[in-house]
Structure 1
Amino acid sequence: MASIFKLSTPSPAASLSEALRPRDSRFLSFNPSSNAINYKINLSASLRSIHSLPLKTSLRIKCSQTDGNGSPAKRTVLHDLYEKEGQSPWYDNLCRPVTDLLPLIASGVRGVTSNPAIFQKATSSSNAYNDQFRELVQAGKDIESAYWELVVKDIQDACKLFEPIYDQTDGGDGYVSVEVSPRLADDTEGTIEAAKWLHKVVDRPNVYIKIPATEACVPSIKEVIANGISVNVTLIFSLARYEAVIDAYLDGLEASGSNDLSRVTSVAS
């Protein structure tokens, strides 16, 4: 069963309300393998200068490999983060059974992000994937194709669990993020095609396609946004690259030619 442990008082800021500017819209991403909270800037809501806020925390989230949905959680600090500070807590992990997310959702988690390293750990440390993987290989799938089918299944199932939040917020929250292959980090066109493929096969309105902010992939972000696909931009390590990502997002919206861009959103971290 997934569980949330104690969240200590942020430092150095006295409070989030003092530290964050009033109109910033951010997502807090909790990494269960470290004590870090990562900020994901909502590009759809805030395109002003970006400032980072380091937080020290004792938050730990564990996702077990056992069956069961867990018990409903009581009101937590995560609810307060959203209702009082406008922060959307995301869970930086995904594993089977995906229903382990239910107590986290009840505890105030409003989205999930994943990456290839997370899935590598999930598939190698649990037997929950064995039956499906065996069936895929016996059906003639190569290892990489079988891997992506496992990933897509988990992402679809997670999207279903977060769908009520997505609907309640009219697309403002409740997203699940899946990343393109890291082999494409220097491949602009390959990243564009992979993002289109993932968006098509997952086929859920609340999926984010995660793209790294490498020099080669910044143009990919523009093209993917222009195709009406919501993007989670990851691995940004400088303000200059943040600015390039914001420009790519805005250029993509302008290039889309759509009259309704309300469902094309982006976050960046």
Structure 2
Amino acid sequence: MMTTLSEPEDFTTGEGLRALLVRLHEAGPAAWRSDPVAADVMEHAAAKYAPLARKHGLDPWEAASAAFDVMRTRSARTAKDPWGVITHAVRITCIAEERAQGLLCSVHQARRPHVSAYHDPERISDRENPLTDYHEAFHITDPDPTEDPAEHDEDDQRREYDTFTTATSLIEDTIAFVTAMKWPPALARAAVEHVCQELARAGTRRTAYEALRRDKHAQALLDIEADSWSILLKALLGHPHPAYAATSTGRGILHRLLIGETLRALLRDEDLVLTLSVAAPRRGGYR
């Protein structure tokens, strides 16, 4: 039997909301349907987050539904500022809802960085100019009949060879640097080659980093601890946080070598040398 309070909690304040959430949690799930204060707090949430919902093209009750999901969590009940926690979660949910509608996908998918990075789909007819005017796929010129096709083939082969040579040299330099940081040579080679393969497949360093960070199979195959694996990924691909984007920490070893930095310059980076040396596996390792 639920105890009736003579004075309902003032849920507009942080302390009052925390007390209400604790009481509803202790009373069980049915309390949210029968308690009159629960209905009042949801109406308050709908009004409170209505501007945020309209900003992202949503109905106010969609924001209230997101607030309801957060209110039932332990983090909201134990937070110093429950309304702050709820507001932050509702804002993230509204952004994900808006991106999901634009990308024509589920909200769960829209929360993933590698999915939300895409632009919204658009019809060809939505643009004022014809597709042939701006899309590079249609920017094709007829070959010059006076030119020798064999010369073009040789140029293409030369460019492919130069690209292959550059990539091979970059990988070998990276392996040499990691090995110099007291990493076992076989482990250094296997790890660097695996990272480069994923980078080539993913296309961008951030996408490759997110995929490799979750790659438990690679960690098990290389027999490398999670901390060492995380540090190696940040060292090779760069720190993913946008604040480091223009720094050496954000670029990573592979990028720095690609833009012309030398191994000697990397060896003078004391932070990088210390970080990789400390993270070097002391036992086990790839064999």
TM-score by length of 2: 0.24
Compare CA radii of gyration and give the structure with the larger one.
Answer: 2
* Structure with greater helix percent: 2
TM-score by length of 1: 0.25
* Structure with greater strand percent: 1
